[in-house]
Chains A and B, each alone.
Chain A
C-alpha cells in the first residue's frame, strides 16, 4: 500500500506541471489586459507602469517567465500576489479554514440526507417515498446553487429574519450556505446510493443474510450498504475535492471569505500569480482526495489490493 501511495504521488508531479503550464498559458496568452494597468487604473504614468512591469518580470520573454514560475513551484513558492504583494501560499492558507468549514459541513448534511434517502428509495423501490426522494433529488441536481442560495436568503434572512444574509464568523452564518451547497450534493449522493443499493439488494449473499434470521435493518445496513458504498464514496470524494477547492458561486452569494471568492477577485484584477496559485492548489487537493478515495476502496472491499 505504501508503494502505491508513493507511486501515486510521483504520478501527481507531471499532472501538476501540466496544470501549471495550462494556467500559465491561459493567463498570458488568452487573458486580455495588463495587470499593472488594471492595478494603476487608467491614469497611471506610463513610465511608472513600465518600471513596475520590469520589476515584476513581466517584460521578460514568456519562456523565462514560465521557467521561473515552474522553478518556484518546486521550491514551494507560488509567487507573490500582484495586488497585495503578499505570498500567494499565505493568502490561500488564510482563506482555507473558511472554505474547509463550509465544505465539511455541507458534506455532512449531504451524506446524512443523501445516503438515507438513497437507502429508503432502494429498499422500497417505486413506493411513494421513493418517488418523493427521487423527484427531490432530480430538482436538487438541476437547481443552480446560487439560485437556491438566493431563495434561502430571501426566505430566512430577509422575510423571516432569523439568519444572516451573508458573512462569516458565527454558526448562524454557516447555516444557509451549508444547506444551499449540501442539498445539491445530497441529491447526487441519493441517486448514486439508490442505484448502487438496488444492484446489491438482489445479490445471493443478501438472501443468505436473510436466511440466517438477521433483521432487515442488519441485512440492509451491514450486508447491503457496505457493498454498495464504493460508487457512493467515489461521488463523495469528487464532490469533496470540488468543495475544498472553493465553491465560487456559493461563496460569492453568501459573501463567504473562502478560496473561491479570492480566485474570482484574482481573475478580475488579473492577479496572475494568485490565479495560478489557487488553480494549482485546487488541483493538488483533487489529487489528494482522489488518493484517499482510492485507499478507502481497499478498506471497504478486501478484494481490492494495491500492488
Chain B
C-alpha cells in the first residue's frame, strides 16, 4: 500500500453564530496517498470548501472552530501544532489554490514579488534567486515571456493567466499536497481544460498529491483517482472514480451523475435533483438527503445512516444501498 500523505479522521468544523451552530463539516474522514488525486464533490453548502480550509487551518475563528477530529499530514496531527510551526508547512508542504483567480492575487504587488515571497520564506533564497525561480515556475505553468510577465501586476493578466500564476505560486515550493478549491469554476470552458491539463502534467512531474474540491463531476472524471461525495457536511459515498461513475450506490451520487448533460442523451432534458440543500438549521433528523431522495422511506427520515463498506474501497452512507440499482 502506498504512503498516506493526508489522513482526515472524523473532522468536525462548526460555526457558532447568533442563530445557533452550523455544523458545516460533521464527521468527515478520507485519506490521500502520495501522488494521488482525491476529488471532493458536492453542491454549494455541502461543506467541501470548509473541509479544505480546515486542512489549511484557514477557518476564521471566531465564528468557526474545528471541534473534533484529527488531520494527519505525513502521520502528524497538524491540529496539535502551534500556528508558528504550522506556518512552516503551510505554503511549503501543503499549498492551496483558490476559486477566484481574479481576486486571489494582491493587486498592488507584481506577480513575481508574490511568487518569490513564498520561495524566500520557505527556501531561504534571496530576492534575486527567488525571482529567478519565479520566472522558471511561470514558464512551467505555460505563461509566455515569463521574464517580462514576472514584473507585471495581476490586473495586466487574464483570468486564466492569473490562475496559472496561482498554480505557479502554490507549486513553487514543491508541495507534497496541493489543495485546489474549485480551481476552474471561474474560468471559461476552454481555459478550464487547459488548467486541468496543466494540473495533471504538474502532478505527474512533481508527484504531488492533489485534493480537488469541485461541484463539477466532469472535472472529477478528468483528473481524479478517488472521489468523496459530500452532502450536508458528511461524506455520503467514497470510492475510486471509475466505480463511482459506473456503479454509484448513493441516490445523491446517482442524481449528480444523471444531471450531467450528455451528447447522446435522448430526452433532451436534464434531470435535476429536486429541491435544494436545506438550510443548515433544518436538515432532516435522519438521513440529511432524505427530503430530496426519491427512494426515501420512514426509516430514512428518522434514523441517520452510517458510512458502510459496500465493497472493498467503496463506502456509502445509505440505509437502502443494497436494495437500489442505480447503475446507468
Query: Residues of A at under 8 Å CB distance from B?
Result: 203-205, 207-215, 223, 226-227, 300-303
Say whether B100 contacts A204, CB under 8 Å. Answer: yes
B64 located at the interface, meaning its Cβ lies under 8 Å from any Cβ of chain A in the complex: no
* B: number of interface residues (CB 8 Å): 27
A214 vs B153: C-alpha distance when bound (angstroms):
20
B117 located at the interface, meaning its Cβ lies under 8 Å from any Cβ of chain A in the complex: yes
The majority secondary structure among interface residues of chain A is helix
For A215, list chain B residues within 8 Å (CB).
Answer: 84, 87
For B96, list chain A residues within 8 Å (CB).
Answer: 211
Say whether B107 contacts A208, CB under 8 Å. Answer: no
Can you show 29 pairs from A to B with CB atoms below 8 A apart? A203-B103, A204-B98, A204-B100, A204-B104, A205-B103, A205-B105, A205-B107, A208-B105, A209-B106, A210-B58, A211-B58, A211-B90, A211-B91, A212-B90, A213-B89, A213-B90, A213-B91, A213-B122, A214-B87, A214-B117, A214-B121, A226-B108, A227-B107, A301-B108, A302-B107, A302-B108, A302-B153, A303-B153, A303-B155
- Nearest residue (CB) in B for A211 is B96
- Nearest residue (CB) in B for A223 is B106
Q: How far is the CB of A124 from chain B (nearest CB, A)?
A: 11
A208 vs B168: C-alpha distance when bound (angstroms):
13
For B161, list chain A residues within 8 Å (CB).
Answer: none
- Nearest residue (CB) in B for A203 is B103
Among B98, B104, B166, the most chain A Cβ lie within 10 Å of the Cβ of B104
B28 located at the interface, meaning its Cβ lies under 8 Å from any Cβ of chain A in the complex: no
**Smallest CB-CB A-B distances: 9 pairs:** A213-B91, A212-B91, A213-B90, A204-B103, A205-B106, A212-B118, A204-B104, A213-B87, A211-B96
For B166, list chain A residues within 8 Å (CB).
Answer: 208
Q: How far is the CB of B84 from chain A (nearest CB, A)?
A: 8
A207 vs B49: C-alpha distance when bound (angstroms):
13
A215 vs B107: C-alpha distance when bound (angstroms):
20
A147 vs B118: C-alpha distance when bound (angstroms):
51
B:77-117 near A, CB below 8 Å: 84, 87-92, 95-96, 98, 100, 103-108, 117
A211 vs B181: C-alpha distance when bound (angstroms):
12
If A209-B106, A302-B155 are given as contacts, then 7 extra A-B residue pairs at C-beta distance below 8 Å, sorted by A number, are A204-B100, A211-B56, A211-B90, A213-B89, A213-B118, A213-B122, A215-B84
Query: Residues of B at under 8 Å CB distance from A?
Result: 56, 58, 84, 87-92, 95-96, 98, 100, 103-108, 117-118, 121-122, 153, 155, 166, 169
A208 vs B58: C-alpha distance when bound (angstroms):
10
Say whether B108 contacts A227, CB under 8 Å. Answer: yes
A215 vs B87: C-alpha distance when bound (angstroms):
7
For B105, list chain A residues within 8 Å (CB).
Answer: 205, 208
For B117, list chain A residues within 8 Å (CB).
Answer: 212, 214
For A203, list chain B residues within 8 Å (CB).
Answer: 103
For B118, list chain A residues within 8 Å (CB).
Answer: 212-213
Q: How far is the CB of A227 from chain B (nearest CB, A)?
A: 6
- Nearest residue (CB) in B for A212 is B91
- Nearest residue (CB) in B for A226 is B108
Say whether A208 contacts B104, CB under 8 Å. Answer: yes
A215 vs B169: C-alpha distance when bound (angstroms):
17
Q: How far is the CB of A197 from chain B (nearest CB, A)?
A: 14
Q: How far is the CB of B102 from chain A (nearest CB, A)?
A: 9
A207 vs B52: C-alpha distance when bound (angstroms):
13
A211 vs B91: C-alpha distance when bound (angstroms):
6
Say whether A213 contacts B88, CB under 8 Å. Answer: yes
A214 vs B122: C-alpha distance when bound (angstroms):
9
Partner of B58, one of A205, A207, A226, A301: A207
